[in-house]
Amino acid sequence: MADMIRKVGVIGSGQMGNGIAHVAALGGFDVVLNDVSAERLKSAMATINGNLSRQVAKKIITEDARKAALDRIVSSDSMDGLADCDLVIETAVEKEEVKRKIFQDLCTVLKPEAIVASNTSSISITRLAASTDRPEKFIGIHFMNPVPLMELVELIRGIATDDATFDASKEFVTKLGKQIAVSEDFPAFIVNRILLPMINEAIYTLYEGVGNVEAIDAAMKLGAHHPMGPLELADFIGLDTCLSIMQVLHEGLADSKYRPCPLLVKYVEAGWLGRKTQRGFYDYRGEKPVPTR
């Protein structure tokens, strides 16, 4: 039982996926990073290398540790590459039908004793588990963004998750040097259930003209010592992701206090999703970010 997890698969090579691959490889695990696009995998490997190099420059890790970590990661653009993994973590977009399809494809190639996990920030672990052939071996392992820097991982058991899966996952996360918060399987778990309504409320504050972008962000940075203002943070997370988590909260808990702010909806409709599209509550196309309201 002790060393049940040796080889870890990561599905999706975006910001979360490459971060999880990075910390798992540094933690001594063999990693298979999977994505449908070979192009995206190439850019993910370059990002991982860049982030590891930055850690070397800051003396967080040694050059030898960087090399060893890179050697532990292989990339694969087919599901077959994940066949012999002991644990596979899915980090696809926050859309349930996309995740279900991935799990169906994965389970056909994966060895029967392997654990399947989702890095979902809001979707029911119980429901996702039910779409697989191994609900008792399914768990939520929710990393925070950016993964190499953030200390916390939320562990979420579905109704069917067995103790062996929970214990092995706990041990895996501990080996990465992360702290664990165990959450019940309710919409958005702990961090996002508290954080996203705060961001949504900040957007309402803007929408209702209580303060402009700069005033709201300065107020929370200087008045509550938040390292980043809520609107700046929303841009960092991605406004589409913020909206989808608010929708999950609103639908899952049917409480009007979780209603997504119409201004958030408007920005998403405009395709102004934050940093990744160069515009959100700030415009990132110039020398420094300029508020868009």
Question: Across the chain, what does the average pLDDT equal?
Answer: 97
Active-site hit among 90, 118, 142, 183? 142
* 121 is known as an active-site residue: yes
d(CA 46, CA 40): 10
pLDDT in tens, 231-276: 999 999 999 999 999 999 999 999 999 999 999 999 999 999 999 9
pLDDT in tens, 17-57: 999 999 999 999 999 999 999 999 999 999 999 999 999 99
pLDDT in tens, 50-79: 999 999 999 999 999 999 999 999 999 999
* 192 is known as an active-site residue: yes
pLDDT in tens, 134-159: 999 999 999 999 999 999 999 999 99
CATH 2.40.110.10 assigned to domain 192-291? The reply is: no
Kindly report the number of other CB atoms within 10 A of residue 149's CB atom: 12
**Domains in the chain: boundaries:** 7-183, 192-291
* 142 is known as an active-site residue: yes
pLDDT value, residue 1: 47
150 and 236 Cβ atoms separated by less than 8 Å: no
Residue 212 dihedral angles phi and psi, to the nearest 5° = -85, 175
Active-site hit among 18, 22, 124, 154? 154
Paired with 154 in beta bridges are 142, 181
Average pLDDT for 87-115 = 96
Topology of the domain covering 7-183 = Rossmann fold (3.40.50)
Please, which pLDDT band fits residue 192 given cuts at 50, 70 and 90? very high
Active-site hit among 18, 121, 200, 244? 121
pLDDT value, residue 266: 98
Whether the predicted pLDDT of 2 surpasses 60: no
Active-site hit among 192, 200, 232, 244? 192
pLDDT value, residue 94: 86
Sign of the dihedral through C-alpha 4, 122, 40, 64: negative
pLDDT in tens, 162-179: 999 999 999 999 999 999
